[in-house]
Amino acid sequence: MKGASDTILISGDIQSGEVQREDRISGSLYLVLITGVAALGGLLFGYDTAIISGAIGLLQGHFMLSAMATGWAASSALAGCVLGAAGAGYGSDKYGRHRMILLSGICFLVSAVGTALAPNFTVFILFRIVGGMGIGAASVASPLYISESAPARWRGRLVALNQLAIVFGMLLIYMVNYRIHLSGSLQWNLSAGWRWMFASGIIPSALLLGLLFVVPETARFLLMHGRREEAERIAQRTGADTFDEILEAEEQRPATTKHMRRVLAIGLTLAVLQQVTGINVFLYYAPIIFNRVNHSGNAALRQTVLVGAVNVLFTILAMAFVDRVGRKPMLLVGSFGMALCLVAMGWAIMHEISPAWLLFFVVTYIACFAFSVGPVTWIVLSEIFPSGFRAKAIAISTAALWVSNFVVSQTFPMLDENPALIVHFGHGFPFFLYAGFCIVEMYFVWRSLPETKNRSLEEISSWWGTPE
């Protein structure tokens, strides 16, 4: 009988282990599903942000734009991004992370239709600002949603999934723009081609809105609003950090102004530095930059597609390493590589060397950014802030990021075409300027940024001297 009893116990242990393993697999798949849907907000973020790259030259010709107006056409969406990001913090806390992603999808859809049908430049700008509001809201809500849903051991990779969706969205629109550009003559592109580029955003916008019906709210948000049973069920389903740990943190949430100022200063600085290192100049103006040495619209657009592909590839590599190597080492190495490439680019443009060399420097710069500053900045912003302050702090930092993006995007054409600067630097001055900011980022990360690898959100919050 003893042997039989032992057999039964062993059998029960095996069955229990199998059930637990199946539960873990089920939870993992569910987590990937809901974070994947949330990351579609990131895809639209990238798609709608970079759509201007293939259309900017056509818009310049269609509306007869000056250098300042060209900068406004490229950066007007960023004004909307500031508004969307600023409002997303309050909205995420009051209405939920899920609803803010839903609202961003609606803004994307309205913008796609409005810009495609715009009868004049003013109407075009208004709808670009609406799209920018969607980008700004998504840039806050999507990484916030993912970071609150993911367990500590996966958080870096899953938040980086949002960055992968962003750069894949960029690559997708680069290819769409290139295909549309080949569909007709220059005259057709000037009159109608650019409209089809913007109209193409209707499809991914509708996809996001449809899939959001299968995505729940985050456990942390539900707990903040007293919906404990729902929060516990979702936390168990996704395999997030233990519900008891989340609950304890929420019950001890008070924070001092001193510590909040410190962590907010870190978030703001990191967000601004991501932009002033020049990345969006290449994402928005790549065809114009390549035309400096190519003198061919088709070649410039093909090279822009290559830039997008490299962006995707190295973001995937970042996902593989960020939870192993850590955030801080990747930021330091990436910033140094970006600085070298920017100096080389400025030199190459000044001396009008072979297009192949310029392309090499641009692609290497994009690779360094995609492996480090691109995804890691969003990861750090999504995890360093305490829970009760997280949505607002991410919104403030992201709004600062978009303001910086706006300034860089608006000023690049003016710096690039400034006669006094051209006399001394050719068209290379902006790249030397951005290289200087890369050095500033290295120093800041080395001196001020803590390492957050493999730490729960509650553990990270305790570093600032306050419980989450």
- In terms of DSSP H, where are the helices of 239-386? 243-251, 257-276, 279-294, 297-325, 327-350, 355-371, 373-383
Residue 394's identity, in one-letter code, is I
High-pLDDT (> 90) share of the chain, %: 27
- Quote the tokens at residue 235: 């936390």
Task: Determine the 3-state secondary structure of 241 from DSSP.
Answer: coil
Is the pLDDT score of 281 beyond 50? yes
Torsion sign, CA atoms 209, 213, 215, 221: positive
Determine contact, residues 426/352, Cβ cutoff 8 Å. Answer: yes
How large is the average pLDDT for residues 182-187? 87
Is the pLDDT score of 169 beyond 80? yes
For residues 313 and 432, give the distance between their C-alpha atoms in angstroms, rounded to a whole number. Answer: 26
Q: How confident is the model at residue 300 (pLDDT cuts 50, 70, 90)?
A: low
- Quote the tokens at residue 338: 């970006």
Is the pLDDT score of 440 beyond 90? yes
From its phi and psi, is residue 215 left (phi > 0), alpha (psi between -120 and 50) or beta?
A: beta
- pLDDT: which is higher, 3 or 203: 203
Question: N- to C-terminal Cα distance for the chain?
Answer: 53
Is the pLDDT score of 442 beyond 90? yes
Determine contact, residues 343/435, Cβ cutoff 8 Å. Answer: yes
Cα→Cα distances 309→40, 91, 217, 293, 367, Å: 18, 34, 33, 21, 10
pLDDT of residue 183: 86
Is the pLDDT score of 393 beyond 50? yes
**Which residues make Cβ contacts (< 8 Å) with residue 119, sequence separation at least 6?**
none
Tell me the range of 244-253, 255-264, 284-293, 336-345 where mean pLDDT is highest. Answer: 336-345
pLDDT of residue 120: 93
pLDDT of residue 19: 36
Read off the DSSP letter of residue 455: -
For residues 134 and 77, give the distance between their C-alpha atoms in angstroms, rounded to a whole number. Answer: 9
From its phi and psi, is residue 199 left (phi > 0), alpha (psi between -120 and 50) or beta?
A: alpha
Determine contact, residues 84/104, Cβ cutoff 8 Å. Answer: yes
pTM to 2 decimal places: 0.75
Tell me the range of 303-312, 344-353, 393-402, 453-462 where mean pLDDT is highest. Answer: 393-402
Read off the DSSP letter of residue 451: P
Determine contact, residues 85/137, Cβ cutoff 8 Å. Answer: yes
Break the chain into its structural domains and give their ranges.
Answer: 21-462
pLDDT of residue 23: 45
Determine contact, residues 171/305, Cβ cutoff 8 Å. Answer: yes
Neighbours of 453 (CB within 10 A): 19
- Which run of H or of E encompasses 428? none
Q: What would the pLDDT profile of 416-426 be if each residue is shown by its tens digit? A: 777 777 666 77
pLDDT of residue 11: 42
Q: What would the pLDDT profile of 43-99 be if each residue is shown by its tens digit? A: 888 898 888 878 888 898 889 888 778 878 877 888 898 899 889 988 988 899 889
Read off the DSSP letter of residue 386: -
CATH of 21-462, one of 3.20.20.140, 1.20.1250.20, 3.30.230.10, 3.30.1330.20: 1.20.1250.20
User: Between vectors from CA 329 to CA 323 and to CA 333, what angle results, nearest 5°?
Assistant: 125
User: Between vectors from CA 457 to CA 453 and to CA 462, what angle results, nearest 5°?
Assistant: 95
Is the pLDDT score of 354 beyond 80? no
- Quote the tokens at residue 307: 């830039």
Q: What would the pLDDT profile of 12-35 be if each residue is shown by its tens digit? A: 444 444 434 444 445 577 777 888
pLDDT of residue 15: 41
Q: What would the pLDDT profile of 127-156 be if each residue is shown by its tens digit? A: 999 999 998 898 888 888 888 887 777 777
Q: How many residues does the chain have?
A: 468
Which residue's structure tokens are 């928005």? 284
Determine contact, residues 154/322, Cβ cutoff 8 Å. Answer: no
Rg (CA), the chain: 23
For 270-297, b/e burial (b = at least 16 CB within 10 A) is bbbbbbbbbbbbbbbbbbbbbbbbbeeb
Q: How confident is the model at residue 277 (pLDDT cuts 50, 70, 90)?
A: very high
How large is the average pLDDT for residues 94-109? 92
For residues 425 and 287, give the distance between their C-alpha atoms in angstroms, rounded to a whole number. Answer: 20
- pLDDT: which is higher, 408 or 258: 408
- Residue 44: closest CA among 203, 176, 155, 275: 203
For residues 135 and 86, give the distance between their C-alpha atoms in angstroms, rounded to a whole number. Answer: 12
Residue 52 φ/ψ, nearest 5 degrees: -70, -25
Is the pLDDT score of 365 beyond 70? yes
